[in-house]
């Protein structure tokens, strides 16, 4: 058996997987997100560890065999978080998470110091509030006593490996999102660290994702129920583990994740980061591969907002029929034509990350008329999210990444209508999967590669990942959507200043 653990933002999910890819057992343990000040997002690393112990104990109990038969452990985790440890390995302060927004000033300082062109050459990325490096500078400035105690910095999943094995380690896919990493050379950026006077020994040794980085200690074995000596590999960032868990391991493939947020992920065999920094460029967990990634903040969240605010009748009817209200809303959308009769939705309900990087962007319906029904509105929401994801894919194509097949995952991918929109608007064959276990499965497969269960990632994904069906673009729809898509791309630049003014007015009213 292989064990995959995903240290997520809302909880730890664990999977036990047989070497033939069959999932034997799963378990989820949740924890709280802390927000001590507006715009802050923190978690206690001890909560992750307690959840990990609960998950491992539950999986060992559910497993059809003894825990000593677990051949390897893989770890996936939320990216960019900062776990500061003292000389004894104790947590100095709560972890500052990927969705924390306190470091805007530090991001500006980093860009001013290096210049965007040089920062891109050093790290292939720009400074964003969620990344790890700005949090280091924030700690130095605002909590100097805590900085003085800090001797080691770990990312969230790497802290759990430390608790499991006693070893300080990082791996390339997660380290690539820290803004302290030379993504092209797959190692920490000594130049950047030296210029910012950050001690190199603050950071752990960095491995490839499938490298074995330690073994379960006797103490951790007692806490988790796992067998002492079980090897743990580097693992991966949640996005690369999600890609491996869906079999997206070759250039030319694309992963489109329609969850709360929307992610477009495309492997690249060459270094080809975006000079305009509209999308990210990180290391894949597959050796010798990188990936381009765009993240939309409100994909499924846009549909959820519509359901909660404008779908009360469908929620009530779904309750009477024992159905999902999303299914009833989608049925209304199917009655509206392609393009929603001239109605476009901009899905910037929480600002936007890719490709605009604008926290003050706002959502809107453009083109409303008295002909539009609820069905038109729903369809416009789904189309607007898909336009935004297609815009990220078009940037990847412009950078030279071939993208002829899109593998859809997440809750939205269960909708045949939404899959057809992806195919029509992105101009690609859309593949759906037989099962969708997410990053925890990818982590387990990485463990399988690292411990010799599989020869390589090709064998691992061929064994565990199954395509259930494909959706081909409809030529007439493609032509009609093409015009709407071009208009969609023009709307944000046109309305940007209006969005910013509205945001300032709203803040003033608060």
Residues marked active site are found at 238
Q: Which two tokens stand for residue 337?
A: 């034509």
**Count of all residues that appear for the chain in the document:** 510
| Crossing angle (nearest 10°) for helices 104-114 and 116-123 | 90
Q: Return the closest-CA partner of residue 208 out of 229, 184, 232, 235.
A: 235
Question: ω into residue 124 within 30 of 0, thus cis?
Answer: no
> Taking CA 107 as the corner, what is the angle to CA 126 and CA 502, rounded to the nearest 5 degrees?
95
Strand 344-346 to 364-366 pairing: antiparallel
**Collapsing DSSP states into helix, strand and coil, what is residue 466?**
coil
> Taking CA 448 as the corner, what is the angle to CA 444 and CA 453, rounded to the nearest 5 degrees?
145
| CA–CA distance, 70 with 226 (Å, rounded to integer) | 8
**Diameter of the chain measured on Cα atoms:** 69
Q: Return the closest-CA partner of residue 231 out of 379, 450, 391, 67.
A: 450
**Collapsing DSSP states into helix, strand and coil, what is residue 52?**
helix
Which burial class, exposed, middle or buried, applies to 7 when counting CB atoms under 10 A from its CB (0-12, 13-18, 19+)? buried
Q: What are phi and psi of 256, to 5 degrees?
A: -115, 110
Contact present, 440 and 464 (Cβ < 8 Å): no
The conformation of residue 67, written as its DSSP 8-state character, comes to: G
The conformational region for residue 482 under phi > 0 = left, psi -120 to 50 = alpha, else beta, is: alpha
Contact present, 232 and 73 (Cβ < 8 Å): yes
Q: Which two tokens stand for residue 461?
A: 């994904």
The H or E element that residue 6 is part of is strand 2-7
Concatenated DSSP letters of 363-428: -EEES--TT--HHHHHHHHHHHHHHHHHHHHHHHHHTT--EEEEEEESGGGG-HHHHHHHHHHHTS
Cα-based distances in Å from 43 to 61, 97, 99, 506: 28, 7, 11, 29
């Amino acid at each position: 058996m292989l064990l995959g653990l995903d240290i997520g933002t809302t909880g730890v999910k664990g999977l036990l997987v047989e070497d033939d890819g069959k999932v034997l057992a799963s378990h989820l343990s949740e924890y709280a997100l802390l927000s001590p000040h507006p715009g802050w997002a923190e978690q206690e690393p001890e909560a992750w560890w307690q959840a990990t112990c609960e998950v491992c104990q539950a999986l060992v109990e559910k497993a059809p065999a003894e825990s000593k038969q677990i051949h390897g452990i893989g770890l996936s985790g939320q990216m960019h978080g900062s776990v500061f440890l003292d000389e004894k390995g104790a947590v100095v302060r709560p972890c500052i998470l990927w969705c924390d927004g306190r470091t805007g000033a530090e991001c500006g300082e980093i860009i001013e110091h290096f210049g965007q062109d040089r920062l891109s050459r050093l790290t292939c990325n720009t400074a964003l509030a969620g990344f790890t490096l700005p949090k280091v500078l924030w700690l130095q400035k605002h909590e100097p006593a805590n900085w003085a105690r800090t001797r080691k910095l770990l990312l969230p999943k790497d802290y759990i490996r430390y608790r499991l094995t006693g070893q300080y380690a990082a791996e390339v896919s997660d380290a690539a999102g820290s803004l302290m990493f030379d993504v092209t050379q797959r190692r920490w950026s000594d130049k950047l660290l030296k210029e910012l006077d950050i001690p190199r020994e603050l950071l752990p040794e960095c491995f490839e994702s499938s490298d074995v980085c330690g073994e379960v200690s006797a103490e951790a074995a007692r806490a988790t129920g796992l067998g002492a000596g079980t090897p743990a590999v580097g693992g991966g960032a949640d996005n690369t583990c999600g890609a491996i868990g869906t079999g997206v391991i070759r250039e030319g493939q694309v992963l489109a994740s329609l969850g709360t947020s929307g992610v477009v992920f495309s492997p690249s065999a060459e270094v080809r980061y975006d000079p305009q920094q509209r999308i990210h460029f990180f290391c894949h967990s597959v050796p010798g591969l990188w990936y381009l990634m765009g993240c939309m903040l409100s994909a499924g969240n846009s549909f959820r907002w519509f359901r909660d605010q404008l779908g009360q009748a469908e929620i009530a009817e779904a309750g009477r029929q024992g159905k999902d209200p999303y299914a009833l809303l989608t049925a209304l959308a199917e009655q509206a034509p392609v393009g929603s009769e001239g109605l476009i939705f901009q899905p910037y309900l929480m600002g936007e990350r890719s490709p605009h990087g604008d926290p003050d962007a706002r959502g809107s319906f453009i083109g409303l008329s008295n002909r539009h029904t609820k069905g038109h509105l729903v369809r416009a929401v789904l189309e607007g999210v898909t336009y935004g994801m297609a815009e990220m894919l078009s940037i990847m194509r412009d950078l030279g990444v071939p993208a002829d097949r899109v593998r859809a995952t997440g809750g939205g991918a269960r909708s045949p209508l939404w899959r057809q929109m992806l195919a029509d608007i992105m101009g690609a064959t859309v593949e759906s999967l037989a099962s969708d276990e997410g990053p925890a499965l990818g982590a387990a497969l990485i463990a399988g590669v690292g411990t010799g269960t599989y020869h390589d990632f090709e064998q691992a994904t061929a064994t565990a990942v199954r395509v259930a069906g494909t959706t081909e673009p409809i030529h007439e729809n493609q032509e009609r959507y093409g015009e709407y898509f071009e208009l969609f791309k023009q709307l944000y630049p046109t309305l940007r200043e209006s969005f910013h003014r509205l945001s300032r007015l709203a803040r003033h009213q608060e």
